[in-house]
Amino acid sequence: MSHRTEIRMTDEEIRDYLTNSRTIILITNGRRGYPHAVAMFYTTDDDLTVNMATYGRSQKIKNIERDSKVTLLIESGEKYEELRGLMIEGRAEVVEDLDKTVAVMVEGTSSPDQPMPDASQLDEDIKIAMAGKRLLIRVKPERFVSWDHSKLSSGETPAAL
């Protein structure tokens, strides 16, 4: 069996890793041909669509409007045998929906030790103040590439690969 196959995450591991992480790198295609990479808080839907909120005049929105193909990246680990990651290729959609944008902002920035307010109960003025200039980016995954080096046989190092 190849190392590539050995370290690939299962569908359930991908779902767990994606839904339990908090930040993701969004990579869009810039006007000059260079990748434009930014860290984003995000949420996921049941079908693993990734949702992020950002200012409507941001560079990432301009890039997506020009070319909807994006790559997303989550990674973790400090030592070689701890390295884990997930790369997602997909097409981004820009959505103008104040309620959904606020919900993503609230859920995406909450933490277990800080209770999340119910976004649907917020006053309209508060929603506008929070997200009036923001748009929602939704990325439906088309391809997953994953790695989990903890699956390697013990003792294997980069030199052995």
Residue 87 identity (one-letter amino acid): M
Kindly state the average pLDDT of the residues 125-154: 87
Q: Is 95 left (phi over 0), alpha (psi -120 to 50) or beta?
A: beta
pTM: 0.86
Alpha-carbon distance of 161 to 158, in angstroms, equals: 5
Q: What's residue 34's pLDDT?
A: 95
Taking 90 as the threshold, does the pLDDT of residue 30 lie above it? Answer: yes
The 8-class DSSP code of residue 1 comes to -
- Cα 48 vs. chain centroid, distance in angstroms? 10
Q: What's residue 132's pLDDT?
A: 79
pLDDT band at 102 (very low <50, low <70, confident <90, very high): confident
What are the pLDDT digits (tens) for 103-138?
Answer: 888 777 766 676 666 667 677 777 676 777 989 999
Write out the H or E segment, with its range, that includes residue 147: strand 134-148
Taking 60 as the threshold, does the pLDDT of residue 158 lie above it? Answer: no
The 8-class DSSP code of residue 41 comes to E
The 8-class DSSP code of residue 85 comes to E
> pLDDT averaged over the chain?
88
CATH code reported for the domain at 3-151: 2.30.110.10
Q: What's residue 111's pLDDT?
A: 64
Q: Give me the sign of the Cα torsion angle 42, 15, 86, 32.
A: negative
Q: What's residue 129's pLDDT?
A: 66
pLDDT band at 155 (very low <50, low <70, confident <90, very high): low
Q: Which residue has the higher pLDDT, 5 or 53?
A: 53
Taking 90 as the threshold, does the pLDDT of residue 13 lie above it? Answer: yes
Q: Which of 52, 50, 54 is nearest to 17 (CA)?
A: 50
Taking 90 as the threshold, does the pLDDT of residue 71 lie above it? Answer: yes
Taking 90 as the threshold, does the pLDDT of residue 1 lie above it? Answer: no
